[in-house]
Amino acid sequence: MIDLFSGLDAWVLVSLLLALTFVLAFEFINGFHDTANAVATVIYTKAMPPHLAVFFSGVFNFLGVLLGGVGVAYAIVHLLPVELLINVNTGHGLAMVFSLLAAAITWNLGTWYFGIPASSSHTLIGSILGVGLANALISDIPLGDGVNWQKAIDIGMSLVLSPMAGFAVAALVLLGLKWWRPLSKMHKTPEQRRKLDDKKHPPFWNRLVLVISAMGVSFVHGSNDGQKGIGLIMLVLIGIVPSAFVLDLNSTTYQIERTRDATLHLNQFYQRNEATLGEFLALGKAKEGDLPEQFSCNPQQTEPTINALLDSLKGVADYRSLTPEKRIEVRRYLLCLDDTAKKVGKLPGLQAREKADLDKLRKDLTATTEYAPFWVILAVALALGLGTMVGWKRVVLTIGEKIGKQGMTYAQGMSAQITAACAIGMANIFSLPVSTTHVLSSGVAGTMVANKSGLQGGTVRTILLAWVLTLPATVGLSAALFWLATKAIG
């Protein structure tokens, strides 16, 4: 790892270390900000002592990051338009990263201080959108092109629908438990259990389910939220040290061959569907040497881009054999081809099997650009895991006692946690970022309604207000910071 940073100017090295510190600080804060939700139920119901719950939650968060892959990481990265991602100017990269991280950290710390279960996912996404929109204004490009709006809509839908699903499914699970075992002790609150049964802990099987589901929530939280930190670090590394990170320098000869083969097959795919795609891609009309501009992509320049990429990869068995400038060029070609393929996949007229083939080709195309070194994954896992072990008390009280008018029963805790673990796990499968905070707290609210416990209007209003305000607040803050940073360096 160290050799990747050798030869850097002192100011670049200092900026890089500072940027990495900012990202890891964000993940550390995320640990005690969001993961408190994962242990809130198991601590409140006294299924586990706080110190053990927090420790094991930190361990499972760590494992979740290590084993979670990078699908969600690059879903976050691709909120930015491809034009901004291929602009790997060091000063520009620094401004982008510091602006979005400063905005995200400020909002996270503020909401944590007041014990509000706000979402780190919303915070980060709002900060990225703010940078994209500010970059569009500064660069005199249409606001519609400043953000990858299709990806933003997909992520927005997952963030909106997941709490609603959490509310409904947790309520249904609780109703199922009440129908199955109406007289069970699992329908008591910890306070009732202590007064009526003189017992401090839940019944054995309820306790076991509470512990397992809490660790499940911690694991899927790590694999979802941890990937956001991985995506941020990759933005930092590609923006500040592009020559070492624009391509996976550890790619094997086979992986490079796969990339080359995917490019060839993509060309054959377009030729095969020329009747449908010929006009959109200007097939057969490109002029000699006609290539995309340095910081833009154009579907009508797809053929020359394919030819240039194949020429660049001819005889290449190791990316290290390419000059730094050539690596940046290869990544630009790959990102542009992937961006065009994504647009082609949404065009009418293509058969379903052809769209499925195109999706597979896209995965092969980006296999050596959408990656993360192991040390990045390990660093984020440690930051998130350690962050989990501090600062959890404020949010635990909100989740356990301040959402409903009555305390939470063991059955409610199980229903909310099982629902949250399944919902976030499903989101991981489809590479969609979701909010652990909102899925779990909405699940608790759903069980309160199903249990006819009622909701505390003040707490619910506070959570909803944070949910509504997070995006505009972080968009505005990160946009302002990015504007000031670009003025300062430019």
Domain containing residue 70: 15-242+373-487
Whether residue 382 is contained in a domain is answered as: yes
Tokens of 54: 């927090």
Identify the three-state secondary structure at position 455. Answer: strand
Same-domain status, 136 and 216:
yes
pTM for this predicted structure: 0.84
Same-domain status, 192 and 312:
no
Over range 165-182, report the average pLDDT.
92
- Cβ-Cβ contacts under 8 Å for 358 (sequence gap 6 or more): 269, 341, 344, 345, 350
Same-domain status, 233 and 289:
no
Same-domain status, 266 and 205:
no
Q: How far is CA 136 from the centre of its chain?
A: 23
Euclidean distance between CA atoms 298 and 32, whole angstroms: 44
Whether residue 194 is contained in a domain is answered as: yes
Structural domains in the chain (count): 2
Give which of 441, 351, 352, 450 is closest to 398, Cα–Cα.
441
- Cβ-Cβ contacts under 8 Å for 457 (sequence gap 6 or more): none
pLDDT of 87 reads 66
DSSP label of 399: I
Q: What are the tens digits of pLDDT across the range 111-159?
A: 777 766 667 778 888 898 898 888 888 877 777 777 777 778 887 788 7
Same-domain status, 85 and 218:
yes
Tokens of 423: 């919902």
Over range 379-388, report the average pLDDT.
87
Strands (E), 73-231: none
Residue pair 436/92 in contact (Cβ under 8 Å)? The answer is no
Domain-ending residue, one of 365, 393, 425: 365
Whether residue 5 is contained in a domain is answered as: no
Same-domain status, 192 and 238:
yes
Euclidean distance between CA atoms 356 and 335, whole angstroms: 19
Neighbours of 21 (CB within 10 A): 12
Whether residue 3 is contained in a domain is answered as: no
Same-domain status, 99 and 39:
yes
Where does residue 352 fall: left (phi above 0), alpha (psi -120 to 50 degrees), or beta otherwise?
alpha
Identify the three-state secondary structure at position 323. Answer: coil
Euclidean distance between CA atoms 322 and 6, whole angstroms: 18
Residue 271's pLDDT band, with cuts at 50, 70 and 90, is very high
Domain-ending residue, one of 365, 386, 409: 365
Where does residue 326 fall: left (phi above 0), alpha (psi -120 to 50 degrees), or beta otherwise?
alpha
Same-domain status, 346 and 258:
yes
Whether residue 4 is contained in a domain is answered as: no
Cα atoms in the Cβ-side hemisphere of radius 13 Å centred on 14 = 3
Whether residue 8 is contained in a domain is answered as: no
Q: How far is CA 254 from the centre of its chain?
A: 29
Euclidean distance between CA atoms 299 and 282, whole angstroms: 8
Give the CA angle between residues 19, 108, 490 to the nearest 5°: 40
Same-domain status, 84 and 38:
yes
Same-domain status, 67 and 203:
yes
Residue 340's pLDDT band, with cuts at 50, 70 and 90, is very high
Lowest mean pLDDT among 232-236, 244-248, 279-283, 457-461: 457-461
Domain-ending residue, one of 365, 385, 411: 365
